[in-house]
Structure 1
Amino acid sequence: MSDFFHNGWSIFIAVATIGGIVGCLVLLLLASKRKVLADDNTTGHVWDEDLRELNNPLPRWWMGLFVLTIVFAGVYLAFYPGLGSYQGKLGWSQISQYEAEVEKARAQIEPIYAQFEAMDVEQLAANAQAMGIGERLFVNNCAQCHGSDARGSKGFPNLTDNDWLYGGSHEAIIETITNGRHGVMPPMAAAVGTSEDVRNVAHYVLSLSGSPHDSIAAQLGKAKFGVCAACHGADGKGNQALGAPNLTDKVWLHGWGEQAIISAITNGRDNQMPAHGDKLTAPQIRVLAAYVWGLSNRARGMESAQADAAR
């Protein structure tokens, strides 16, 4: 892959660009000096006995425009990128242009977010303007995985059920959005034992949430659950510090049932949420986190708004 970034490619592009412009100019000059070879304004070429090629030169205005185009190309390439790695006299780049536009946009939206700085999460969740902005941020950055209704899908958490892998506080959600999350469950089948032991553990996990299960298999799997307890806890209620799911609440991120649990134990899981700290500003993330928090705590936000109105 590094061959495509070799300095030779830059030289090749520069030579090809200049060569093309010079070639057009030479072609134009040669065509303008072409002489008429016959008195009847023909070039002397005859086909099929009576078909003659006429020598009709280009209009001067057209040739003038052609020359101006070539001159414009030369001036443009002197000031802007176009000749390989040469950046041009003005030093313009699409990256600097993008960064300038981003900074301009940030300067325009700063006053909007400034009014939210003194609000806590409950006040933000009750503020219609803040939630309108948060919803747009969610649709543009989060809905691709969590869905436009934030209810998720298989492998993507539901953000409306108040069930959180890493904690549902405003601060925890801000950290999740800013830095992303990388949840890994290693394959544990070898540590559990035989395939029958894995099945028994699967039924014990089902029993923790009161789901339909084989009670005999669950009793046999309880002793083997110890290898899972290191992350999920002895009671199976998970560990938010590790992002280990609560196995007692009937919320199944990767599917429900014996086979789904056996697959998780045998193959493990590797889920990643990308970080958005380099894409969104801190005030944007704060409002977005309040919107996500409000999806499962809307009642608390409304109570806060009503209390403020009553004061």
Structure 2
Amino acid sequence: MHNKKEIDHATGVETTGHEWDGLKELNNPLPRWWVWVFIVCCVWAVCYWVVFPSWPIPGGATKGIEGYTQAKELAESQQQITARQEAYMAEFKNASLQDIMKNQKLYEFAIAGGGSAFRQNCAVCHGTGAEGGPGFPNLNDDDWLWGGTLADIQQTITHGIRSNDPDARVSQMPAFGKDGLLQKEEIEAVVGYVMTLSGGPHEADYAKGKDVFEANCTACHGPDGKGMRDMGSANLTDKIWLYGGDRQTIYQTVYNGRGGVMPAWGERLDPETIKELTIYVHQLGGGEADAGQAADAPAAQ
């Protein structure tokens, strides 16, 4: 037996002295830094097993000395959020909508809560940006069917439109063609007339369309076609169309009638959330002032 180191002539690297079928293994140990990193990782892993839940056991896993779980972290985070909300909620509950609009902190609290509630409950119809779509109003403009004051918006959200709530806003546009109230020629004429109210060209049957409109439509839309908020009827003169302003769509509207439904959120949401939603919708861009009051929010002053 000898201790002489054998050097591989091809590589100049020491061999381990082992040989198999004419093959010899080179002695290339791992770098010292890598070995220390490996040792540190092993120690860290053992500490992790002790501190945090890790090893599966019957009925779950080891709890760890910290007792940490993501569910526990979530619960603690929710408690912190609830505590911050409670700092405002007591004052918020007792404040009127007008008082909230005058109080910067309560106003910001309402906007934050209202935005969250809107995305959870209202965005499915009105869109995440409240831009609306066919049959669903755009809440960013000042074109309101039932009114855009704080009181109007709160009433609409609370009781809905054509919902089952006894205090819901209710109106019904007749299906003039489907129910045989008007003949096809009369519908064609009144559609042409309606299009002129928002700047469209006069057609040959303009006079006939005007007569049909005055006899059948003015009770809700008014003699000038600007609508009536008490009836929830649309302004036909502003080029803002809930279902579409092309001739075919207007014809379908007159022929079949329209009557969208909005849920009564008072049955599903608490009063504070409805107040938050009211202020959030009001500040989107088209909110109107209550009688004798300014519509500006604190943040806009």
Return the offset for 1:172.
Answer: 0.9
Name the structure 1 match of 2:262: 273
Question: In the TM superposition, what whole-angstrom CA distance separates every residue of 1:80-103 from its partner, at most 9, and x where no partner exists?
Answer: xxxxxxxxxxxxxxxxxxxxxxxx
Name the structure 2 match of 1:63: none
CA distance in 2: counterparts of 1:267 and 1:251, whole angstroms = 20
Q: How many aligned positions are there?
A: 203
Do the aligned partners of 1:131 and 1:291 also contact (CA within 8 Å) in 2? yes
Structural mapping, 1:135-284, within 5 Å = 135-182=115-162, 183-189=171-177, 193-210=182-199, 212-225=200-213, 226-284=215-273
CA change 1:246–1:198 in 2 (3 A) is: same
CA distance in 2: counterparts of 1:228 and 1:297, whole angstroms = 27
TM-score by length of 2: 0.60
CA distance in 1: counterparts of 2:141 and 2:203, whole angstroms = 29
Question: In the TM superposition, what whole-angstrom CA distance separates every residue of 1:138-197 from its partner, at most 9, and x where no partner exists?
Answer: 101110100000010000000011111111111111111111102531211366632111
Do the aligned partners of 1:146 and 1:152 also contact (CA within 8 Å) in 2? yes
Question: In the TM superposition, what whole-angstrom CA distance separates every residue of 1:11-39 from its partner, at most 9, and x where no partner exists?
Answer: xxxxxxxxxxxxxxxxxxxxxxxxxxxxx
Do the aligned partners of 1:125 and 1:291 also contact (CA within 8 Å) in 2? no
Name the structure 2 match of 1:123: 102
Do the aligned partners of 2:159 and 2:265 also contact (CA within 8 Å) in 1? yes
- The amino acid of 1:232's aligned partner reads H
Identity fraction in percent: 38
SS of equivalent to 1:272 = coil
SS of equivalent to 2:187 = helix
Do the aligned partners of 2:110 and 2:276 also contact (CA within 8 Å) in 1? yes
SS of equivalent to 1:273 = coil
Question: In the TM superposition, what whole-angstrom CA distance separates every residue of 1:228-275 from its partner, at most 9, and x where no partner exists?
Answer: 111111111111111111111111101111111111111111210011
Question: In the TM superposition, what whole-angstrom CA distance separates every residue of 1:100-140 from its partner, at most 9, and x where no partner exists?
Answer: xxxxx999956533333156264368833321111001101
- The amino acid of 2:205's aligned partner reads A
Do the aligned partners of 1:187 and 1:267 also contact (CA within 8 Å) in 2? yes
Return the offset for 1:304.
Answer: 4.2
- The amino acid of 1:180's aligned partner reads G
Do the aligned partners of 2:148 and 2:287 also contact (CA within 8 Å) in 1? no
TM-score by length of 1: 0.58
CA distance in 2: counterparts of 1:195 and 1:306, whole angstroms = 51
Name the structure 1 match of 2:88: 112
Q: Which runs of 5+ in 2 are unaligned?
A: 1-80, 163-170, 289-293
CA change 1:282–1:267 in 2 (3 A) is: same
Structure (1 or 2) with the greater helix fraction:
1
CA change 1:281–1:106 in 2 (3 A) is: farther
Q: Which has the larger radius of gyration?
A: 2
Do the aligned partners of 1:125 and 1:294 also contact (CA within 8 Å) in 2? no
Q: What root-mean-square deviation, in Å, do the aligned CA atoms of Structure 1 and Structure 2 show? A: 2.9
Q: 2:285 aligns with which of 289, 296, 299?
A: 296
Return the offset for 1:298.
Answer: 7.3
SS of equivalent to 1:287 = helix
